[in-house]
Chains A and B, each alone.
Chain A
Amino acid sequence: MTKEVQKTNGNEVAAESAQSVWVIRPAVEIQELPDSYVVRLDIPGADKESITARINQATLTVSAKVSDVFERGASQLSGDSRPAEYRREFSLAENVDTGTVDALYDLGVLKVTLRKKQRFLPREIKIG
């Protein structure tokens, strides 16, 4: 779970020239618990409906769109007003149960919980 897929070379990369979307790599916090991993991503302003957390083979891709933060008809004073998209990929360890991904979006933070496979969980063996 700890490894991150390095596909982009910068922190905030302007990609996809066809559409000029501003791709932002969100800040992340990863916690390992005995039975799961908790991944938190800062995605302020993301539209809830656009958030996806997808596992393909051993890669977790999280993406979300930010639309219309600014009202229309403005003359820009600072910052970047292009439509933005958050995206970050993680390669998953063997012990991650890719069948169950749980995601919760609150206050601009996405919390993704990945459970570990049963056979990797610590267990107690009864001595008979």
Chain B
Amino acid sequence: MLFRFEPTLFENFFPSTEPTDRTIPALFDHLTVVDRAYQTPRLNVVEHKDHIQLVAEIPGVSKEDVKLQLHDGVLTISGERKAPEQAKDSELLRQEIRYGSFSRTVQLPEAVDTEKVSAEYRNGLLFITVPKLEAAQPKEITIR
């Protein structure tokens, strides 16, 4: 019974995988379709015993151009990747890198401490740490 807690935690990260009666994930599913002009950075989500770690790939973006917002349990990473200055008389031979706005939204599970979310930008990666609430951490129960 104790471990049933965790699958519940997971599900909120993937609002589209299962029908839910929560309105917020549904709302964001819709937004994702509309905002195709935005790029969505690749994101990895890893769960630890006492926190959840999110790593977003946003190379070429200065720290000042990244915005991290948390509202009502919804975490949004957004910003702009500015194109490097292009020299005069230069010609683009290949362009696979995309510049412009990006945005990614994640519904955090309820059992996290949203007051203590921290973030760090390193080598093109944004590391976000979301601590779990005490109640959501696995506990061992002593049998008397």
Contact = CB atoms under 8 A, between A and B. Distances in A.
Interface of A: 1-2, 27-34, 37-38, 40, 42-46, 48, 69-71, 73-79, 81, 107-109
Contact of A28 (B44, B45, B97): B97
Given A2-B94, A37-B93, 11 more contacts: A29-B95, A30-B94, A33-B89, A40-B97, A44-B125, A45-B125, A69-B55, A77-B52, A78-B45, A79-B42, A107-B123
Q: Is the interface of A mostly helix, strand, loop or mixed?
A: loop
B123 A45 contact: yes
Interface string B48-74: 110011010111111000000000000
Nearest to A33: B90
Contact of A81 (B46, B61, B92, B97): B46
A44 B89 contact: no
Interface residues of B, number: 35
A43 B97 CA distance: 11
Q: Which of A34, A42, A46, A70 has most chain B Cβ within 10 Å?
A: A42
Contacts, number: 110
Contacts of A70: 44, 46, 53, 55
5 contacts: A29-B94, A43-B124, A77-B13, A77-B44, A77-B47
B84 interface: yes
A95 B4 CA distance: 64
A108 B122 CA distance: 8
Contacts of B10: 77
A73 B50 CA distance: 11
Nearest to B94: A30
A36 to B, nearest CB: 9
Given A29-B94, A40-B84, A42-B97, A71 B125 contact: no
